[in-house]
Structure 1
Amino acid sequence: MKMLKPLDIPIIILLIVLCFIPTGIFMWQQRSVNAASELYATIRVDRKVVKKVDLTANKKHYTFVLHPHRGQYNVIEVAGDQIRDKADNTPDQVAVHTSWISKLGQQSICLPHKLVIEIKSKDKQANSSTGTGMVQP
């Protein structure tokens, strides 16, 4: 404490507060984008879109099975405005443990099956503001 000068403590507190400002701005932006846009999920296998699921108008609960490659399966569950990989036959079950996704930009990835579920917006500006509108190589 002898090495601190009188203005060091207020400067440290100010720097800590400034560190959290970007997080607050991002959370505010996400809330406004999610509330104002219509969301849908794209399901891609090997970078090709195999199915699109509308998450805003869809209020029913259903499941369907995808077979990305021979001997592989993914059970996809949709409930209103959220979607998840309910079950698959991968050894690590990462996509299953990801559980429900419903916010713009969220992804559930099943790497062994090369399957990606991503939440997108019908509003092109919302996709680009969250970084999800990037072109895949």
Structure 2
Amino acid sequence: MHTGGEKEDGTYEGGKVNYTGQFFFDDEIAQQIFTLEPYSQHSGSCTTLDNDMVYDGGGAASGLLTLKAVKTGNPARGYRGSLTLGIDPDAENTGAGSGGGGEGGTPPSGEPPADAPTDSASASASASASAS
């Protein structure tokens, strides 16, 4: 999320990054979605939540979305959910994805770098999700 900028020539310019994050789908829903076009053409494997190096198992507070099928048994009809995301507009996220090519991501070893920010140092925003 960016605040303090303005739209110029069809793009958002200036301001600061207040929040950068990810949202996650339950494994069962992800598997249903991967049966649909164009996802069924994907030759790779789906990363489960247990094997995801970003998701920490904290449920909605960690970005796990609670979704309900629009039409039960037919994932092609889509999913419905709601999301409540609190952002501190005075905070500035200087972590990965904050512009300027930060040093984001988990190294191939699977271990975070020794100087990686902790949640308390880098997160001024909180997220929770619930089904509508």
- TM-score of Structure 1 vs Structure 2, range by shorter chain: under 0.3
Give the structure, 1 or 2, with the largest relative contact order (CA under 8 Å, sep 6 or more).
2
CA radius of gyration, larger in: 1
Normalising by structure 2, report the TM-score: 0.19
